[in-house]
Structure 1
Amino acid sequence: MGLSLLRTISPSPGFWTQNARVVFSSNMSDTSYLAGARPQAYTDLIAGLVFALLFATVTWSFLDLQATYVVTVGILYAITAYLIASNLPDTLPQPGLGSANRITMARCIGTLCLAGLVTYAESLGTLGRWSIVGLGTGIMLLDGVDGWVARRTGTSTEFGARFDMETDAALMLVLSALVWAEDRTGAWVLLIGAMRYLFLGAGLVLPALRGELAPSFRRKLICVVQGIALLIALGPIIPDFIAVSVSALAMAMLICSFSIDAVWLLRPRPL
């Protein structure tokens, strides 16, 4: 599923932390373009808007949706682009957002297009539901590409990692919303996507929950289960009782994982 997606359930605080991850630089020692890094990144964001609207238009035509779908995706992208632009680092190791972050941006755009389908989910036919499963699967598989590229070239950075993780978290939230909107389960399934955000919110009240957590195989495994379970639940050929069962299993595992992390972060520490 991709190692970076596996970090999605880590309850690290904050959003879009400042630093940039970029890869495929032909000459990492050449920093002559750093002064113009932000303007070039803004150009990438504008290009992303064009791509988002194009992809949304194709989806609108393919699934015979209302024109408001394209507008919704455009608005969601504008909000996302603002968050990215507001937190861009002062310098970037590569022109623009960089190769790895552009891959993450493509995944983000796919997630936004899925988000725009939430209000149409109940009326979508078999073709539309399979399209959701296909796009969701593609986004999750592509998640491994940006992380692999960054690790292989040794250019992983905090901004890129956070951008990747927030995209993963948003995808889980959107998938859980689609499961609910398609009436495959009750509203409780929304907790699967909302759990991380609730944990972050709890950290505002209990600062100890904002502490750093060591990498955990348990967290990675449960995240894989989380994504697979939601995609299974969205499958048109999946009976409702299976959709409910796999979603409930994923949520139970997620609650246990967050509970373990919360207990560890809130444990008494020696003076």
Structure 2
Amino acid sequence: MDVTIRQGWFRAGSPFGQATLLSAVITALAVSVLFGPNGQSVLFLLGVGITFGGYLLVLWLVLQRAAVQVDNPVLTLASRITAIRATGAVLLGGFIVAGTGAETANWLPAVLFAAVAALDGIDGYVARRMDETSTFGGEFDTQVDAFAILIGTIVAVRLGAAPAVFVAIGLYQYVFFLGKKLRQHKGYAVHDLPPRKRRTYVGATSMIAVFVVLLPGVPSGVTWFLAVIAMIPITYSFAVDWLYAIGWMSHT
């Protein structure tokens, strides 16, 4: 049964709130056991907590943007799947502080990110199949994509699998958003971007690049090279969108 966001999202007593909180806590504790009693489990949980704070900020931004379009956004099944994806990204953030450590944990960053990426196709399919597409759902999906990519790039750099500049592809979405807000605040025109398939391809490229770089056992020289190569089309796409948004060129 669908519930409105304000009725069900932040209430700890709601079934959705309880399930989300419980699954996150149990999964985080289970993963932390892999590190053993050497203090790394505490670092992992600390990383999860910090990342969860970032997720709450993202969620707040989504709700603010959706509220402009919809008086009472609805929490559909598709949006709940998107929330599960966000939980995976939050758990991935634990490795930012803890690293991997135990051999078993070496695969977990790639596995978690792969799960988040795989569910990206499922939530969209469910939304279309059940006729649940909405402004809120689309915005939520987009922001969770950006959040997962940002966390994935930071983890890749933390593990030494990519150069620090790789984090840029995770920051582009936020820099773009803040740049638009700054221009609007100063009274400059900002143009809406028309739909383009190119962004879908770029999003897929970002997901694939982060996943491959996170795979254990791949020589760092190879992952660094792949990370830099992947940045070229992604950087180009955001540059084109920015120039269009500020009116310097027609969209291509």
Question: Which category describes the TM-score, using the shorter chain as reference length?
Answer: 0.7 to 0.9
Alignment match of 1:167 (pick from 128, 132, 144): 144
Letter of the 2:173 counterpart: R
Q: Which residue of 1 aligns with 2:192?
A: 212
Measure how far apart 1:229 and its partner are: 1.2
Distance across 1 between alignment mates of 2:34 and 2:235: 38
Gap runs ≥5 in structure 1: 1-23, 26-32
Deviations 1:154-173 (A, max 9, x none): 22111111111111101100
Give the alignment's TM-score, normalised by structure 1.
0.76
Q: What SS is found at the alignment partner of 2:34?
A: helix
Alignment match of 2:213 (pick from 233, 245, 255): 233
Deviations 1:62-111 (A, max 9, x none): 34342343354245436645764783855355xxx331111111111110
Distance across 2 between alignment mates of 1:46 and 1:181: 32
| RCO higher in structure (CA 8 A, sep ≥6) | 1
Q: What SS is found at the alignment partner of 2:27?
A: helix
Q: What SS is found at the alignment partner of 1:156?
A: coil
Q: Specify whether residues 77 and 48 from structure 1 end up closer, same or farther in structure 2 by C-alpha distance, changes over 3 A only.
A: farther
Q: Specify whether residues 74 and 119 from structure 1 end up closer, same or farther in structure 2 by C-alpha distance, changes over 3 A only.
A: closer
CA contact 2:28–2:91 (8 Å) conserved in 1: yes
Measure how far apart 1:118 and its partner are: 0.8
Letter of the 2:20 counterpart: G
Measure how far apart 1:133 and its partner are: 0.7
Q: Specify whether residues 85 and 198 from structure 1 end up closer, same or farther in structure 2 by C-alpha distance, changes over 3 A only.
A: closer
Give the alignment's TM-score, normalised by structure 2.
0.81
* Larger deviation, residues 181-190 vs 197-206: 197-206
CA contact 1:203–1:209 (8 Å) conserved in 2: no
Letter of the 1:158 counterpart: T
Matched, 1:255 2:235: yes
Identity of aligned residues (%): 24
CA contact 1:118–1:177 (8 Å) conserved in 2: yes
Matched, 1:243 2:211: no
CA contact 1:185–1:244 (8 Å) conserved in 2: yes
Distance across 2 between alignment mates of 1:161 and 1:137: 21
Distance across 2 between alignment mates of 1:38 and 1:190: 33
Count of residues paired in the alignment? 233
Alignment match of 1:66 (pick from 36, 41, 44): 41
Gap runs ≥5 in structure 2: none
* Larger deviation, residues 204-213 vs 185-194: 204-213
Q: Which runs of 4+ in 1 moved over 6 A?
A: none
Q: Specify whether residues 225 and 80 from structure 1 end up closer, same or farther in structure 2 by C-alpha distance, changes over 3 A only.
A: closer
Matched, 1:40 2:18: no
Letter of the 1:40 counterpart: G
Higher normalized helix content (fraction of residues): 2
Alignment match of 1:91 (pick from 59, 69, 72): 72
Matched, 1:265 2:240: no
User: Superposition pairs for residues 1-271 of structure 1, below 5 Å?
Assistant: 38-41=6-9, 42=11, 43=14, 44-64=16-36, 65-74=40-49, 76-77=51-52, 80-81=55-56, 84=59, 87=63, 90-93=71-74, 97-121=75-99, 123-207=100-184, 210-267=190-247
Q: Specify whether residues 209 and 48 from structure 1 end up closer, same or farther in structure 2 by C-alpha distance, changes over 3 A only.
A: farther
Distance across 1 between alignment mates of 2:191 and 2:178: 13
